[in-house]
């Protein structure tokens, strides 16, 4: 009986991901796909996300926003390899997808627009890590916000808080509902990676 439960769990996971037979062996060996929740229903900050798939890094520096950018950092966006693979084969984000956006300051500028000159040229270069925002696809838990929950783990240098409660709709989901794809992700900014063959 003990062995039945993990196999059932794996089968559900595999069905949910729409994996091919080739992906099954890999899926069985992975244990960390999807979100972890506390007893209170808070999201646990995932570990190891720097080893996930890197989708892109939108950048909204102060110099281009009258010195008042809400998020002057690079917005480095990561997704777990399992969700990435499922998206590439189905065009849909699977249940349990975690989109993780880590903010990363630019290195201190030497010019008034915040840029600096490095051997590669004049521009912006990655500096300190400075916060994390996460969205999670769970259609049951977050049915009021099109199946996605939103979480802020701080807008500050690490260490980040370990768990976070879902943010109110007005704080996050509302803007994604209005401006992102029907599936709540700003996929257009990640298209070069998502659609690469
Ligand atoms: C005013 C609109 C707006 C609000 C409010 C907002 N976002 Fe976003 N979010 C965006 C845009 C635009 C992007 C993609 C480009 C970027 O990062 O600038 C994005 C990207 C993301 C991403 C990366 C995946 C994706 O969908 O592209 C996550 C994760 C995310 N936001 C979480 C949050 C969380 C958590 C909150 C609330 C604390 C929040 N967002 C509030 C506009 C918004």
Tell me: pLDDT of 156 over 70.
yes
pLDDT at 5: 44
Do 124 and 111 contact (CB within 8 A), yes or no?
A: no
Query: Which residues have CB under 8 Å from 6's CB, separation 6+?
Result: none
- Centre of ligand 1 to C-alpha 172, Å, is 7
User: Which sign does the torsion angle of CA 41, 45, 46, 49 carry?
Assistant: positive
What's the pLDDT score for residue 22? 53
Identify the pLDDT of residue 197: 87
Residue 186 CB less than 6 A away from ligand 1:
yes
12-24 pLDDT, tens per residue?
554 555 555 555 4
Q: Spell out the residues 6+ positions from residue 115 whose beta carbon is closer than 8 angstroms to its own.
A: 63, 109, 122, 123, 124
pLDDT at 159: 98
Q: Which candidate, 159, 184, 154, 150, places its Cα nearest to that of 42? A: 150
Cβ of 16 closer than 6 Å to ligand 1, yes or no, is no
Q: What is the tens place of the pLDDT at every residue in 78-128?
A: 999 999 999 999 999 999 999 999 999 999 999 999 999 999 999 999 999
User: What gap in Å lies between CA 67 and CA 19, rounded to an integer?
Assistant: 46
Q: How far apart are CA 115 and CA 133, in angstroms?
A: 25
Among the atoms of ligand 1, which is closest to the Cα of residue 186?
27
For residue 150, how far is its CA from the centre of ligand 1 (angstroms)? 9
- Count of CB atoms situated within 10 Å of the CB of 173: 22
Output the pLDDT for position 32. 83
The answer, yes or no, to whether the previous bond of 73 is cis (omega within 30 of 0) is no
Measured CA to CA in angstroms, residue 82 lies from 14, 163, 195 at distances of 10, 23, 16
Check whether 29 has a pLDDT greater than 70: no
Q: How far is the CA of 9 from the centre of ligand 1 (A)?
A: 31
Write out pLDDT tens, residues 167-196: 999 999 999 999 999 999 999 999 999 999
Which residue of 102, 104, 186, 188 sits with most ligand 1 atoms within 8 Å of its CB, as the best mutation to test the pocket? 186
């Amino acid at each position: 009986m003990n062995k039945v439960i993990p196999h059932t769990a794996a089968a559900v996971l595999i069905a949910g991901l729409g994996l091919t037979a080739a992906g099954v062996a890999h899926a069985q060996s992975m244990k960390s796909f999807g979100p972890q929740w506390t007893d209170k229903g808070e999201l646990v900050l995932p570990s190891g996300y720097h080893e996930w798939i890197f989708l892109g890094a939108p950048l909204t520096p102060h110099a281009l926003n009258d010195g008042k950018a809400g998020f002057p950092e690079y917005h480095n966006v990561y997704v777990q390899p399992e969700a990435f693979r499922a998206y590439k084969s189905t065009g849909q984000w699977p249940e349990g997808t975690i989109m993780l956006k880590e903010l990363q300051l630019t290195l201190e500028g030497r010019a008034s627009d915040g840029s600096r000159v490095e051997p590669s040229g004049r521009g912006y270069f990655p500096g300190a890590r400075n916060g994390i925002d996460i969205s999670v696809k769970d259609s049951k838990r977050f049915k009021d916000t099109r199946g996605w929950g939103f979480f802020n783990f701080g807008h500050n240098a690490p260490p980040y808080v370990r768990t976070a409660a879902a943010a109110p709709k007005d704080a996050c989901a509302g803007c994604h509902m209005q401006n992102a794809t029907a599936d709540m992700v700003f996929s257009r900014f990640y298209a070069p990676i998502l659609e690469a063959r």
